[in-house]
């Protein structure tokens, strides 16, 4: 029996296929609810609406729904956290009101209905497959089982408030003839809706909005930190546990411990990403490579390591240098080799030795060596310049001001029927599933509010 093999289409062929599919969609002239953006928040909102018999219409810039989910969690999609807490966001009071009594249980229930199996790593929740594509797949298939419309490859240019709802203007981003992005003569269309949900933001600019809404520009966050050139960066690629502290005007404004990744331009890793939410140019970054030890404990640890190493060498060589208790750079590195990775131990030894020799030559005092090492290890200083690699930023701060939005319903205070969710609202959270949790929960909250308003209208 001959078996046929399946070959994955090239990116170009897949793009052409998706463009053709997008042009085949018959766009309605009107809809109950139009959702601007088919990412995490938009999909959650659409599914809840569809579950309650309201047929949503999604307008998405990308050629497929949910593509913004795929790179999250380095492709594994850390979709939530068991430690979910409003304090992990830039506006905890607003988020607390919006989350309600048990946001995590609402997220659990939502994904259980969608058929997602998940697992946990420490406090982080991932799809069981550890593939973000599993999340997009279950969301797309769940939505497909309900009546809805999704228009992909189009961008919404403006939203106008009308007496009976809203007029949403949008245009095609792709040319069917060339299969390329359309640079001019884009096809422009409009759709009328009773309610509109704004679920786009970040890399995708907001459309022109009613003047009653105030907005701020988007700023990329949760990305690496570019620092002033430093000898530490020769260790690029090395990972270490550390605590970062941000100092501004000699005051510590933020600190957190976690895994640090040293790069040739600065620092990366989750703890650095979280620092990007607070850092400003010229802030001082204090790196503590022994965060689990107090100052005195760290000193004692290093002192004993130096003493133990010198005693071992003395027993073997019985040298005069040992009796004098002088230390070479190599001695310091060897003494630290049981505490840090070899490259890091060598770096601390070299840096401390340089700093020590600038103050006093040929010291024989063990206390002096121990304290010099402790200062280097627990108070290594970097100068922050800016965030970098912002094109791959995990979230953006900015968008529609939360002061214009009811936190309990996510409806605009002065524009009935207009809702703002996900990254479109000026809410951002720390690494570890917080931002996706906000996307899911805000989408659920807005959809439930719309369903309640429709039921009220029907009852009347």
pLDDT at 451 over 70: yes
Among 4, 24, 20, which residue's Cα sits nearest to residue 12?
20
pLDDT at 224 over 50: yes
> Over the stretch 258-284, which tens digit does the pLDDT of each residue have?
999 999 999 999 999 999 999 999 999
Q: Is 11-221+395-459 a CATH 3.50.50.60 domain? A: yes
Domain ranges across the chain:
11-221+395-459, 223-392
- Contact at 8 Å (CB) between 195 and 450? yes
pLDDT at 316 over 70: no
Residue that wins the pLDDT comparison between 359 and 282: 282
| pLDDT computed for residue 315 by the predictor | 59
Torsion sign across C-alpha atoms 265, 271, 276, 282: negative
> Over the stretch 167-212, which tens digit does the pLDDT of each residue have?
999 999 988 888 888 877 788 999 999 999 999 988 778 999 998 9
Torsions phi, psi of 219, nearest 5? -120, 125
| Predicted confidence band of residue 321 (pLDDT cuts 50, 70, 90) | very low
pTM: predicted TM-score of the whole model, two decimal places: 0.89
Residue that wins the pLDDT comparison between 457 and 176: 176
Q: Which long-range contacts (CB under 8 A, 24 or more apart) does 177-186 make?
A: 179/15, 179/16, 179/19
C-alpha atoms less than 13 angstroms from C-alpha of 120 in its C-beta half-sphere:
8
| pLDDT computed for residue 264 by the predictor | 96
pLDDT at 458 over 90: no
Among 432, 430, 438, which residue's Cα sits nearest to residue 72?
432
Dist CA 109 CA 112 (whole Å): 5
| pLDDT computed for residue 320 by the predictor | 42
339-360 burial, b at 16+ Cβ within 10 Å, e below that, comes to bbeeebbbbbbbbbbeebeeee
């Amino acid at each position: 029996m001959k078996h046929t093999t399946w070959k994955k289409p090239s990116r170009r062929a897949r793009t052409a296929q998706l463009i053709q599919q997008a042009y085949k969609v018959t766009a309605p002239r009107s809809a109950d609810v139009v959702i601007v953006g088919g990412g995490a928040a938009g999909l959650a909102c659409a599914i809840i609406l569809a579950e309650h018999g309201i047929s949503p219409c999604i307008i998405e810039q990308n050629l497929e729904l949910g593509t913004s989910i795929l790179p999250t969690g380095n492709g594994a999609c850390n979709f939530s956290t068991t430690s979910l807490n409003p304090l992990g966001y830039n506006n905890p009071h607003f988020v607390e009101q919006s989350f309600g009594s048990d946001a995590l249980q609402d997220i659990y229930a939502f994904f259980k209905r969608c058929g997602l199996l998940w697992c946990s790593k420490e406090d982080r929740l991932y799809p069981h497959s550890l593939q973000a594509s599993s999340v997009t797949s279950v969301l797309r298939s769940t939505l497909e089982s309900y009546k809805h419309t999704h228009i992909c490859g189009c961008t919404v240019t403006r939203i106008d408030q009308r007496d009976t709802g809203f007029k949403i203007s949008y245009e095609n981003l792709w040319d069917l003839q060339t299969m390329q992005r359309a640079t001019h003569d884009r096809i422009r269309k409009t759709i009328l809706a009773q309610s509109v949900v704004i679920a786009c933001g970040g890399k995708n600019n907001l459309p022109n909005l009613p003047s009653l809404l105030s907005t701020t520009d988007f700023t990329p966050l949760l990305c690496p930190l570019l620092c002033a050139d430093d000898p530490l960066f020769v260790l690029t690629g090395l990972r270490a546990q550390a605590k970062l502290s941000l100092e501004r005007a000699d005051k510590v404004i933020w600190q957190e411990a976690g895994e640090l990744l040293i790069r040739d331009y600065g620092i990366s890793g989750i703890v650095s990403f979280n620092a990007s939410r607070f850092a400003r140019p010229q802030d001082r970054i204090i790196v503590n490579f022994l965060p689990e030890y107090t100052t005195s404990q760290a000193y004692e640890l290093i002192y004993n390591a130096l003493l133990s190493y010198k005693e071992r060498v003395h027993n073997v060589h019985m040298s005069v240098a040992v009796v004098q208790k002088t230390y070479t750079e190599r001695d310091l590195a060897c003494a630290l080799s049981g505490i840090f990775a070899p490259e890091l131990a060598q770096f601390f030894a070299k840096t401390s030795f340089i700093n020590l020799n600038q103050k006093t030559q040929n010291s024989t005092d063990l206390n002096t060596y121990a304290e010099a090492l402790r200062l280097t290890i627990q108070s290594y200083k970097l100068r922050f310049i800016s965030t970098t690699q912002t094109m791959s930023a995990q979230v953006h701060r900015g968008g529609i001001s939360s002061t214009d939005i009811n936190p309990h319903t996510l409806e605009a205070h002065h524009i009935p029927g207009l809702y703002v969710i996900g990254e479109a609202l000026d809410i951002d959270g720390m690494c570890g599933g917080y931002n996706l949790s906000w996307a899911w929960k805000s989408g659920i909250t807005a959809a439930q509010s719309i369903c309640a308003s429709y039921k009220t209208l029907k009852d009347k």
